[in-house]
Structure 1
Amino acid sequence: MLKLGFVGLGMMGLPMLENLAGARDVAILAHDRDPARLDRLKSHPAWGVTLRPAARLADLADCTVVITMLPNSAVTNAVIEGRADEPGLAALLPRGATLIDMGSSNPAETLRLAPLLREAGVTLIDAPVSGAVAKAANGTLAIMAGGDAADLERVRPVLSHMGATLIHTGAVGSAHAMKALNNYVYAAGLFAASEAMLIAQAMDLDADIFTQVLNASSGRNVATETKLAQFIVPRTFNGGFALALMAKDLRTADSLQQLSGMPAPLLSLCASTWGQAQEALPATADNTEIYRYLEAQRDAA
């Protein structure tokens, strides 16, 4: 039976782990710095059988595979490289282990960590996900994975419990880069759809009909299809992905301009606007509330 560690039980990590815990051939140790996040797992059928808590990172020292699902590179780096009061996974895991970073980390940091882990005999795979909480809950996430093809094949059965689509993106670091760029393209679509909707409403155009027009025409994108009628027009703004996380992903994508040497003014605009929205809106704001921010900017003009 595969012994697996899972670190990070946030909005995405917890449902992902719940699906993974349904696997019969995996024994899981779950760790989060906030022990309260493990409470929901106590009702899982695998709890106390093949799913157990890990109070410390050191409890994962004999795991063959460890998955991290953490909010940013700073937290991920601390877990991998360690803190003053706690050794990290690089020092703890046995040689031959595989570490899968499923968070939306900065690809530059992924490229820095890969050789450090390699020296410790640990393989790093970057495997960020797309699909938000709903798809995390039903196990249908899209997973992008960077690393050696043979390494990916070894962990494919594990990843298949959490996602319906697995795309090998190339070398380690490539998945984190593609995830950041993917989120930029989504954010640009949401930005454009929000501005267009605000203009339409200022002209007393019917919002529902305008949404239908967009989705039947060349303006269609994932934001018009899954965000306008569902969360923006009814003003519920509960799409399930935090605006702060989108702002972080856009900062990551924005940093790729320097890494690649390719200027991208629209990307800079999106990153700047989401950063301003993050400062202006509550910390709990949903990513669809970029509409509210743009609306407030219009009203203040």
Structure 2
Amino acid sequence: MKVGFIGLGNVGGKLSGSLLRNGIDLTVHDLNRDLVDAFVARGAKKAEGPAQMMRDCEAVITCLPSPAASDAVMQAMLPEVKSGKIWMEMSTTDEAEAKRLGALVIERGGAAVDCPVSGGCHRADTGNISIFAGCDRATFERILPFLKVMGRRILHTGDLGSASVLKVMTNYLATANLLTCCEALVTMKAAGMDLNTTFEAIRISSGNSFVHETESQVILNGSRDINFTMDLVLKDIGLFQKIAENAGVPLEISPLMIDIFKDGQNRYGTRAQSDDIIRRLEDATGLDIRAPGFPPEMLDDEPEEAGYEVIPQGKELKAAE
């Protein structure tokens, strides 16, 4: 299958790199010509634009920073959509927008998938990231072979749009965990605890988490470089808040998180790294939350492994019945 990839940024560049590294016939497009040229030098083909990519490829993946960008790309591709074509939206986006754009593809005889990723840029770089996929089962089976190249754990979440809902939820949880890790580290420093020992106490305890094992390290290094910015956090947790409001769920923590990140963005800038949010507490206390021995950026030290489909607990039994 010939695969096209539009959007070679922090996440897209790494996901498409896994496809190229593993021998997929790949065509790329990005507004940044330097990024495109780097991929062409490694063996990818270059598309002049989204329309050509949809015309020449069987599956086209978009991984873009905003719903507006995805819409613009879709409008350019749409005249070339026909039976057998697949559009895969790997951006983190709104469920309704994924369904709206997907419906345009389906109306023209193509197939549509929302398939966001979760696990951090360092795992996207090694093909060990997790991927959610919302689409009909037949389409999922068609794209599963190269989903397994881009990611390790692949979850079919249900119909189109379902993956976007679950992705927003996971980003909400990660953000909540980031804020509690920041509060824990600053409080322990204020209480006189050694931060290296504090990190290990959390890591080996019931308080441990994926966010602590990754983001706490770059916080303690001082780089705070997690390849994710405050404006993107606000977009994601805002989408989660919208889901809750539409479902009539009166959340209490979510609105507070939004206020915290709005304040962080006002203080440190829209494009400040999300982990810079700890500076609010550093500024308030006068404490420096850094410790020796931690890396400036996260690298995935697990070997690249072939991906596999994750079957939800209880589904095996239902299938057998």
TM-score, scaled to structure 1: 0.89
Partner residue in 1 for 2:38? 40
Distance in 2 between the 1:90 and 1:288 partners?
38
* Alignment partner of 2:58 out of 39, 57, 64: 64
| Displacement after TM superposition at 1:42 (Å) | 3.6
| 1:224 counterpart = 2:227 | no
| Displacement after TM superposition at 1:246 (Å) | 2.0
Distance in 2 between the 1:6 and 1:234 partners?
34
Partner residue in 2 for 1:260? 247
SS at match of 1:241: coil
Which structure has the higher relative contact order (CA within 8 Å, separation 6+)?
2
| Structure 2 portions without partners, runs of 5+ | 287-321
SS at match of 1:188: helix
Please list the CA deviations of residues 29-51 of structure 1 after superposition, one character each: whole Å capped at 9, or x if unmatched. Answer: 2111222221321431xx2xxx2
The aligned length equals 285
Distance in 1 between the 2:259 and 2:85 partners?
39
| Displacement after TM superposition at 1:297 (Å) | 4.6
Please list the CA deviations of residues 10-35 of structure 1 after superposition, one character each: whole Å capped at 9, or x if unmatched. Answer: 011112112101344x4322111222
Partner residue in 1 for 2:296? none
* Alignment partner of 1:73 out of 54, 67, 71: 67
Distance in 1 between the 2:57 and 2:31 partners?
18
% identity of equivalent residues = 30
* Alignment partner of 1:142 out of 116, 121, 130: 130
* Alignment partner of 2:190 out of 202, 206, 211: 202
Partner residue in 2 for 1:11? 10
| Structure 1 portions without partners, runs of 5+ | 83-87
| 1:102 counterpart = 2:90 | yes
| 1:160 counterpart = 2:148 | yes
| 1:179 counterpart = 2:167 | yes
Distance in 2 between the 1:275 and 1:159 partners?
35
1:105–1:176 contact (8 Å) kept in structure 2: yes
Partner residue in 2 for 1:286? 273
Distance in 1 between the 2:191 and 2:108 partners?
62
Where does structure 1 differ by over 6 angstroms across 4 or more consecutive aligned residues? none
Distance verdict in 2 for CA 1:259–1:112, change over 3 Å: farther
| 1:274 counterpart = 2:249 | no
2:129–2:152 contact (8 Å) kept in structure 1: yes
Deviates more, 1:145-154 or 1:218-227: 218-227
